[in-house]
Copies of this chain bind each other. A is one copy, B any other.
């Protein structure tokens, strides 16, 4: 190792770890592993650590430092071809880098700049890199508010504690006028759904203004609450330009709405945090614009990092790619993201995990078995609104599926005496 690179290595027991966030990366390099790891630290912190002709060194306070380096192996086929880092053999490396948070503060855009900005992705010698995890020290975490309502707050609205929640995405997702939209939601509520929601593509659009849609759905919701004796939620998608989201949130609340959704990454996580500080109702995320930088196994960011950042930003519920090959996310990865939402984390409230993907009544058991908790929500669309007997039957089929699970009866058997479930199996059972 070149001597100038030594200050970019440290032992974690010699550092005051309260001052560092720890970024875990996978990377590949055709060059020297340690020098390249040091270069990764330099690029994301003090590339030049002193002025010309001044005797000083910014590395001890401001330098990022490798605290662990694992050589995983080598490959002759790079995970991603770079223009500048080429060689016959690529070393595969996992590093943990302690980055001093004095460099960026408790600010999400600045944290992202440090962890996945120019430094990490333009380090000479690295042809592929993926940010796998971020660990935050408690004093840093405490500077974030996290979810305001969390799982508990959402359950308190619904007064449902003993089962997973069911949230239906009203379909057709776009094109419906507010009155028709509300009528579909009404039927789903009657059938036993806990929440209905706007699709991620439906926001404050000219053919269905948020104000009109929310007013119509809330009327449906109250009517359904009266008839069913159950409490309900409507999640209004207020994804919009940043300067409108507070206004839209307030409009939803004034219209009697009790939840909002933001497509978090397109809007920006600090906008989510801004809204969370002021929010009077639980906030759900949707996972648009996450796959483009998370899907590659050895390049970009892990979904786990993105889930952590979303909880940190204050989402009370996090809609994420769920089970099934169609969602292109492994079962293990979905499970880890569910755990990230729910685990104890510096005193922050838990976010409700909402893993989605072609859900219908038959998806409930595999989800429940895989996650090992009732603290999640399904988010069926077609499984409710595409049910051959309509949304009321669709919603009912899912409640029936849960009854079957509670009674420990296979859904096929339970369907013999439950027509809506039987029709759901006929319609969706084979495709899934």
Contacts and interface: CB of A to CB of B under 8 A. Distances in A.
Nearest to A357: B122
Chain A interface helix/strand/loop/mixed? loop
A270 B243 contact: yes
Interface in A96-136: 102-105, 107-110, 112-114, 116-119, 121-122, 124
**Integer count of this chain's copies in the complex:** 2
B390 A53 contact: yes
Contact of A104 (B180, B201, B327, B328): B201
A80 interface: yes
Contact of A206 (B102, B263, B387): B102
Interface stretch (A167-175, A226-234, A413-421): A167-175
Nearest to A84: B325
A268 B242 contact: yes
A71 interface: no
A271 interface: yes
A375 to B, nearest CB: 23
Contacts of A51: 172, 176, 180, 184, 385
Contact of A107 (B84, B241, B328): B241
Interface stretch (A212-220, A250-258, A283-291): A283-291
A301 interface: yes
Contacts of A387: 52
B263 A117 contact: yes
Interface of A: 44-53, 58, 61-62, 80, 82-84, 102-105, 107-110, 112-114, 116-119, 121-122, 124, 171-176, 180, 184, 200-201, 203-207, 239-243, 263, 266-268, 270-271, 273-274, 286-289, 291-293, 295-296, 299-301, 321, 324-330, 357, 381-382, 385-391
